[in-house]
Amino acid sequence: MVDNAGREGQSEAQRRVLLAQLTRPLRSFLATEAGSAGLLLAAVLIALSWANSPWSGSYESLWSTELSIRVGGSELAMNLGHWVNDGLMVLFFFVIGLEVRRELSVGELTERQRIVVPAAAAAGGIVVPALLYLSLNPSGEAAAGWGIVIGTDTAFLLGALAIVGPACPTQLRVFLLTLTVFDDIVAVAIIGVVYSDSLDGVALAVVAACLAALALLNRVSQWRSSPYLLVGLALWIATVESGLHPSIAGMAAGLLIAARPPDRSDVERAAALFRAFRQSPLPQVSETARRGLQRAVSVNERLQTSLHPWTAYVVVPLFALANAGIALGDGLLGEALRSPITWGIVLGLVAGKLLGIGAGALVALRLRLGSLPQGVGEGQLLGGAALSGIGFTVSLLIADLAFDSEALREQAIIGILLASVLATFVGWLVFRLAAALRGERSASLPMVLDRPVEIDRDHIRGPQDAPLTLVEYSDFECPFCGQATGVVRELRERFGDELRYVFRHLPLTDVHPHAELAAQASEAAAAQGRFWEMHDLLFSRQDELELEDLVGYAADLGLDVERFVREIGEEERLAERVREDIADAEASGARGTPTFFVGVRRHVGAYDADTLARTLRSARGRVTAPP
């Protein structure tokens, strides 16, 4: 029997594993989405309880209250329900657009091969549900509801996955988030085109001008967020007046604001300004330091950081509160359960998403067009496909747009709520079957060093038989790896002969074009017994890693330059040596640099000297503890 302390330790270990798999922005995005699921569920329950209570009249009157904004002779007037659906929800789609652009620029979608399988899965998850819905509602006003079954609610999906999914479902989360990116883009396009009113040409011209202005701000690298927000506000107003649904304005604006990795010079400038403020804590110095910090982070990520919690914890729950409240009395529930609209939605979301996403992904896999994320099995894929039938937010929005009849809209809402419950149950069942029949109990990256330290092969600093081992997968062009060299130096001073440090290569060639050549140069130096001297030199001159620079370093170190150049250009074994380290990193779950392993366990979290020292001391306690 596992005691409470053991269970708590195991749970904490699982949380650390989850955090270990992801980049910091994606960790923040997922944590916020999953955390908002509880508020979203609470809002649904409050709305249903309120609408079916003796105070149901106040629910209806609240959301039908008119609210207008007048400037001179111009006026924008809507009831509260429309201000939520057509106003606040634009922020929701804006943040989704920002996240999609960030993932395309610097995140999970930068490697286009990774998007083939989720894109194929998303296509199946859009087409099959729509066809199943139309099979029960082929004509008439009911047919207009086919768009209800195409979307997936990311917040509810991640919340349900945390409850009914496999242990440590990190890699599956990333796959499903990628899939919902395509879902959201298509859903917003359908809302904007299919469910829009008659269009106003002048307002559409203003919309086009606003989009062009956003693209121009992005092109000139405007780092302040206020111009983007002002143009975005004008874009929203123009879209409302044009007859397009405002959600398309939010998504388009987000997609036009680029993300970029922090530029090293901007980071160093911000650090210098912060040091200046610490020395002279004056208001004007503070303002300069604040602007310097802002310039170091892209507008896209700054806007996400500030807006995402508001959309997740306020906008989406408020949307649910405004739209999920239907009175189930007067035979409405019985009428809905006899309606083809209700069952078309249930069939499309519950069966259609499972069949469409599953078939789309499996066909792409069989055709070798791509692969599932490491650690994710096909059974878990089907479980995630089932949970994608939770269409809540987007489905409610489209239901409101698709039907003019209040009765049909209420039947659709009941279908959406029923589908969410059934999709969660089916997902739970599929995950249990995948665990029992296929052994798919976890969907995370490996946490253990795949290849143990080899004294005759690895580059080691410190006694070869030291009781503590710190392994680093690193990139000579990575500025954070360059900073980590000082951390390693401090740790070696603290632990002395108790610590051996092992360096392995993980050149990130997609963002660091000189990293692989620098890695080969270090191996060419190693062949002449000067690896660590070249290692230190490369990290001290990270901005100068062209071939002629490397040759100059070889000369400075007194190497046989002719041999050095020949081995870099002709010796396949050097490239193979680097590729072996890359393969080891892949098998060990290392995806970025620097990645540290303390002993054989991957280190999770911060890698400053104090944090790593605490982890090493903990490892030393385990090593020296009596059996």
89-106 and 170-194 are packed helices; what angle lies between their axes, rounded to 10 degrees? 130
* Residue appearing with tokens 């796959």: 175
Decide if 179 contacts 118 (C-beta within 8 A): yes
Which residues make Cβ contacts (< 8 Å) with residue 117, sequence separation at least 6?
A: 175, 361, 364, 365, 369, 370, 371, 372
Q: What are phi and psi of 174, to 5 degrees?
A: -60, -45
Which residues make Cβ contacts (< 8 Å) with residue 343, sequence separation at least 6?
A: 136, 415
> Which of these ranges, 10-14, 359-363, 364-368, 565-569, has the smallest mean pLDDT?
10-14
Say whether pLDDT at 627 is over 90.
Answer: no
- Three-state DSSP at 77 gives strand
CA dist., res. 28 & res. 215, Å (int): 27
421, two tokens: 């419950």
Say whether pLDDT at 112 is over 70.
Answer: no
Which residues make Cβ contacts (< 8 Å) with residue 240, sequence separation at least 6?
A: 76, 86, 246
Say whether pLDDT at 4 is over 70.
Answer: no
Residue 353, CA atoms < 13 Å, CB-side half-sphere: 33
How much of the chain exceeds pLDDT 90, in percent?
38
- Three-state DSSP at 597 gives strand
Per the prediction, the chain carries an average pLDDT of 83
Checking DSSP bridges between strand 74-79 and strand 468-474, what pairing results, if any? unpaired
Q: How far is Cα of residue 387 from the mean position of the Cα atoms in its chain?
A: 18
Say whether pLDDT at 86 is over 70.
Answer: yes
CA dist., res. 357 & res. 152, Å (int): 12
Residue ranges per structural domain of the chain: 4-26+36-196+245-262+297-438, 263-294, 459-624
* 269-322 per-position pLDDT tens digit: 766 766 666 666 767 666 676 666 666 678 888 888 888 888 888 888 888 888
Say whether pLDDT at 133 is over 50.
Answer: yes
* 342-397 per-position pLDDT tens digit: 999 999 999 999 999 999 999 999 998 888 887 888 999 999 999 999 988 889 88
CA dist., res. 376 & res. 6, Å (int): 26
Say whether pLDDT at 96 is over 70.
Answer: yes
- Three-state DSSP at 246 gives coil
116, two tokens: 């083939």
4-26+36-196+245-262+297-438: CATH superfamily: Na+/H+ antiporter like domain (1.20.1530.10)
Q: What are phi and psi of 504, to 5 degrees?
A: -130, 155
Determine the average pLDDT of the residues in 3-29.
Answer: 44
Q: How far is CA 43 from CA 38, 96, 320, in A?
A: 9, 21, 6
Determine the average pLDDT of the residues in 503-518.
Answer: 90
Determine the average pLDDT of the residues in 320-336.
Answer: 81
CA angle 11, 15, 21 (to 5 degrees): 145
- Three-state DSSP at 167 gives strand
459-624: CATH topology is Glutaredoxin (3.40.30)
Confidence band, pLDDT 50/70/90 cuts, at residue 265: low
pLDDT the model gives residue 9: 40
How much of the chain exceeds pLDDT 70, in percent?
86
Say whether pLDDT at 568 is over 80.
Answer: yes
> Which of these ranges, 75-84, 215-224, 272-281, 495-504, has the smallest mean pLDDT?
272-281
Which residues make Cβ contacts (< 8 Å) with residue 410, sequence separation at least 6?
A: 326, 332, 336
Checking DSSP bridges between strand 499-505 and strand 468-474, what pairing results, if any? parallel
Determine the average pLDDT of the residues in 11-16.
Answer: 40
DSSP one-letter code for 448: B
Decide if 236 contacts 189 (C-beta within 8 A): no
Cis peptide bond N-terminal to 283, omega within 30: no
Confidence band, pLDDT 50/70/90 cuts, at residue 420: very high
Say whether pLDDT at 552 is over 60.
Answer: yes
pLDDT the model gives residue 292: 65
CA dist., res. 243 & res. 204, Å (int): 9
Determine the average pLDDT of the residues in 246-254.
Answer: 83
Q: What are phi and psi of 499, to 5 degrees?
A: -120, 135
Name which residue leads in pLDDT, 119 or 107: 119
pLDDT the model gives residue 263: 65
DSSP one-letter code for 328: -
Name which residue leads in pLDDT, 12 or 505: 505
Which residues make Cβ contacts (< 8 Å) with residue 41, sequence separation at least 6?
A: 156, 159
Determine the average pLDDT of the residues in 333-345.
Answer: 92
Mean pLDDT is highest, among 107-116, 240-249, 589-598, for 589-598
Element (H, E) at 75: strand 74-79
22, two tokens: 């992801």
Q: How far is CA 335 from CA 138, 152, 338, 357, in A?
A: 20, 26, 5, 31
pTM (whole model) above 0.85: no
Name which residue leads in pLDDT, 531 or 157: 531
**Rg, Å, the chain Cα set:** 28
Confidence band, pLDDT 50/70/90 cuts, at residue 14: very low
Nearest to 149 by CA among 397, 502, 511: 397
CA dist., res. 369 & res. 195, Å (int): 34
505, two tokens: 């290569």
pLDDT the model gives residue 625: 40
Confidence band, pLDDT 50/70/90 cuts, at residue 622: low
24-51 and 316-323 are packed helices; what angle lies between their axes, rounded to 10 degrees? 20
